[in-house]
Structure 1
Amino acid sequence: MFKKLRLKKGVKVLLASLGLISVIGFTESKQNGETCKDVVIRIDNQHENYFVNEQDVLSLMTSAGAHVVKGASFRDLNLKEIEERVKSDRFIKKAEIYKDLKGNMLVNIALRRPFARVVQNNGPDAYIATDGAVLPVSDKFSSRVVLITGKYAGQLVKNDLMETDEGKKIFAMLKFINDDEFWKAQIAQIDIDKKLNMTLYPQVTKQYVEFGQPEELEEKFKKLEIFYKQILPQKGWNTYDRVNLMYEGQIIAE
């Protein structure tokens, strides 16, 4: 009697399991066969960089209309492949595409943010993003950021900054400036020569700053802060034409 009871319970558990598997299989089959009802695009744009909008993302998803997304069966849609098409735009840092329970395709986009613009005499301008990526300029939107000029500008845009030792040094310099509200507001332009020596041009005062190599950043900017906050208020804002920070422990102003 006890064995029969255990057998019946075992059969019930087996039947319940088979039923659950059937339901899951039916649900997955139904979802895979569903058509994409709508495409919902969400762009994380907290810094208000309007280089990419929803229409741009949709165009990337469909290869400018060559592929059908909305109304297509999810069985025929390769979401990873669509993600790769979207991420081909350099301004798009991250793209996540998935299907919700209502049959919609959800597209979450994170944008890169420029924090410098490279200006070239013999080539197109380019942006440098906060992750070191080199981005093209856009006719759609222009970002107000520090300008980079000089003979090294053309070399700078050949690779993302984190791919070379020189690029990493320049990136560290840009990040230092961008992370400090005072320097971010004060420095308008950085000229870089072939040996990586830098000259800074301020927004307001007339003197240029001979910074030298992008090294010992904290020490050099501390000296420059002393010059702006202690020396200039006493001597006059337009007394000097240039400031040299290249010598250890010294501020040379002429």
Structure 2
Amino acid sequence: MLRKFDYPWLLFKRSLWLIMPVIGIGMAENKLGNQRCTNLVIDIQGDSGTRFLNQMDVQMLVTENGGDPLMGNKLDDVALHDLESRVRRNKLIKKCQVFRDLKGNIVVKVEQERPLARWIQTSQNEELQNTSGYYINEEGVFFPLSESYSARTLLVSGPFFKNPKNLETKKGASLVALLRFLNTDPFWKAQIAQLDVDKDGEIHFLTVLGDQQIEFGTAENYEPKFKKLRMFYGKVLSQDWSRYKRISVKFQDQIVCE
């Protein structure tokens, strides 16, 4: 049985177990805050085959093209949120996180946008203009081309893409879902060279093998159409790739060929 004067001592010891970690964290944060930036660590994440930006590009974004250097600054004086905002202004970057580590580094983690397709502007003669256009990401959002890198991705064209808000409609959502499908299906990813969409959402494909133009109709219920087309490829076109110039699967339960 404990004597009465043992209770305050026991309570004091238990309180120390609670207080000491808090004091330790406070001291560590104070020490870290007084530390000076020793290095800028840049981690570019995302698709390993995409190189829209390199480490120097990100460094220029963080430091306002070198006008606001971070090296040697007290970490407590560095506004991490402002640095994130600077980097996010670049439309080639999807996400950005800036934080400081225990070594005195400022770490910048960025994720590049991943292109689902590239819209190519066409002239009045329907000729491709390779220097203009936009990329389209997996959410159906447009982002600009890069001056230093051109991603290998599906080409799309046509007046439907001239208004980015069209991709926010029901037809647009179906079209983005179709683009995702074309990027994940090995056969169609290799076979479809270009996709053209008119103002009403009607789709035409240009193929790699053969010289066919495929009339697909709108993107709604695209999976049954691709199944029909895949069967037609296997049973008919594989015997003679030049047999037809136009193939239409826009009508339900039938394939029209010329």
Do structure 1's residue 47 and structure 2's residue 51 form an aligned pair?
no
Written as runs of structure 1 = structure 2, the 5 A alignment for 1:57-96 is: 57-96=58-97
The 1:66–1:159 alpha-carbon spacing in structure 2 relative to 1, beyond 3 Å, is: farther
Partner SS for 1:120: strand
Distance in 1 separating the partners of 2:142 and 2:61: 20
Partner SS for 2:143: strand
Do structure 1's residue 36 and structure 2's residue 61 form an aligned pair?
no
Partner SS for 1:238: coil
Retained in 2: the 8 A contact 1:127–1:134? yes
1:223, distance to aligned residue in structure 2 (A): 1.4
Partner SS for 1:2: coil
- List alignment gaps of at least 5 residues for structure 1: none
Partner SS for 1:225: helix
Identity over aligned pairs, percent: 35
Q: Which moved more, 1:112-121 or 1:9-18?
A: 9-18
Task: Deviation per CA, 1:55-102: give whole Å up to 9, x if none.
Answer: 111111112223222221111112122112212222222222221111
Distance in 1 separating the partners of 2:166 and 2:84: 22
Q: Which residue of 1 aligns with 2:244?
A: 240
Distance in 2 separating the partners of 1:182 and 1:17: 62
Do structure 1's residue 127 and structure 2's residue 135 form an aligned pair?
yes
Q: TM-score, normalised by structure 1?
A: 0.90
1:21, distance to aligned residue in structure 2 (A): 4.1
Report the number of matched residues.
Answer: 250
Do structure 1's residue 216 and structure 2's residue 224 form an aligned pair?
no
Partner SS for 2:53: coil
Q: Which residue of 1 aligns with 2:105?
A: 104
Query: What is the CA RMSD across the aligned residues, in angstroms?
Result: 2.1
Distance in 1 separating the partners of 2:166 and 2:98: 26
1:10, distance to aligned residue in structure 2 (A): 3.2
Distance in 2 separating the partners of 1:150 and 1:16: 69
Distance in 2 separating the partners of 1:215 and 1:225: 17
1:222, distance to aligned residue in structure 2 (A): 1.0
Q: TM-score, normalised by structure 2?
A: 0.88
